[in-house]
Every structure is written in structure tokens, then in C-alpha cells.
Amino acid sequence: MSLLELRTEIERRTQEEVSKIIEEGKREAEKISAEAQAKARALRDERVKALARELDEQERAELATTRMDLKGKLLEFKFEWCKRVFEEAEKRVSQIAKGGGQEYRELLSKLTLEGISRLRGSQFVVEVNPRDVEAIRKNLKAIQQKASKIKNKEVALRIGSLSATTLGGIIVTTEDRTQSYNNTLEARISAATRNLVGETYRILFGEMKE
């Protein structure tokens, strides 16, 4: 082989090797680029998912807060209406008491007898609103007779006066002041409120109080 042919062969092989190296470099570059793009997509997808989760959690938190606020307002609304019912009942009872009619006088007698039946002994003080002293005095004899039958022994009653601020009703105490039974209208209304609040919720809203 001549020197020219040898040089030509070396140049050809060199060119082939260079082409091979360049081709492998391109493939490696494409591989690296593809991997980089895949990692970039994966990172982007993960960030999108993380952002979506964050937004979802934020929306759920805001929704929960909104629900709690609405529930609180609903409970407040229900409580207010329930309160109005008992306030209206108290107002009507107070009007009946101030009227001093037959219905109220009979109620005073019943409240007195109930108080006496709950206490031991036979000598009692019946304390009423100053406005009701005359009403209870008129029925005192009949109350005393019924009380004696309840106790199965002679009962003595004395009338006392309560503060004028009470709506009405009575407080019965034993003569020695060791026992007392509060049957004022305030006490009765308070007991009714505790006992009937669930039923009131059911009537107003079709449900029991939570």
C-alpha cells in the first residue's frame, strides 16, 4: 500500500471513529435530555399534586369553618326562639298573677298544698307576694282543711309576705324555719324550662335539643 493510500485509509477510519463518537454523543445527549425532561415532568406533576392537595385541604378547612359558623348561628337562632317561647309564657303567667282572678287564686291554693305535702311537721308559714296576701287569706281556711287531710293531722298555717319583686306563687316554710319549699312562679317556670326545653325544640324545629 502506497503512502497516499495509507493516509487515505487512516483519514477514513478516523472520520468513521469521529462520526461514531459524535453519534454516541448525540444518543447520550438525547438520553440525558429525555431523563431530564422526565424528571422535570415528574417534579412538575408532584408540585401540581401538592398544590392541589394544599388547595383541597384549604377548601375543606374553609368549608368546615363555614359549617361550624353556620351551625353556631343556627343553634343561636334556635336558642333565641326557644327563649322567646318561655319569655312569652312567663309574661302570660305574670299577667294572670297580676290579674288576681279565680284561676290564679286556685293556683295559689294548689301551690300551697303541694309545698305543705313536701315538708314534715304541722305548723307552716305561707309566704306570698304582698299583692296576694288578701287572696290567700280568703282561701286560708279551705287550704288548712285540705292540708290537715293530707297530713292526717291538724295543720296550722300563718301568712307571711315575700319581696314584691317576685312574680307570684308561694314559699312554704315550717314554723321553725328548718324546712322550706319554693313554689314561686319563678321557680315553677325555671323547672318547666328545664323539663320542657327538649319538647319545645321538637315542636318548633321538629327535633330534640342537641
Quick check: 72 and 78 in contact, CB under 8 A? no
In whole angstroms, what is the distance from residue 65 CA to residue 168 CA? 46
Q: What is the pLDDT of residues 117-146, one digit of tens each?
A: 999 999 999 999 999 999 899 899 999 999
Which of 73-77, 151-155, 168-172 is predicted with the least confidence, judged by mean pLDDT? 73-77
What pLDDT is stored for residue 192 in this prediction?
Answer: 80
Residue 17: phi and psi, rounded to 5, are -65, -40
Q: Which residue has the higher pLDDT, 104 or 64?
A: 104
Quick check: 132 and 184 in contact, CB under 8 A? no
Domain boundaries, the chain: 101-199
If pLDDT is split at 50, 70 and 90, which confidence band does 18 have? Answer: low
What pLDDT is stored for residue 141 in this prediction?
Answer: 92
Contacts of 117 (CB under 8 A, 6+ apart): 147, 150, 151
209 torsion bin: left (phi>0), alpha (psi -120 to 50), beta (else): beta
Q: What percent of the chain has pLDDT over 70?
A: 76
Question: Global pTM?
Answer: 0.58
Residue 61: phi and psi, rounded to 5, are -65, -45
CATH number for region 101-199: 3.30.2320.30
Q: DSSP of 52-86, one letter per residue?
A: HHHHHHHHHHHHHHHHHHHHHHHHHHHHHHHHHHH
Q: Between 3-99 and 185-205, two packed helices, what is the crossing angle to 10 degrees?
A: 140
What's the mean pLDDT in 52-66? 73
What is the DSSP-derived secondary structure letter of residue 152?
Answer: T
Q: Which residue has the higher pLDDT, 137 or 60?
A: 137
Q: Which residue has the higher pLDDT, 30 or 185?
A: 185
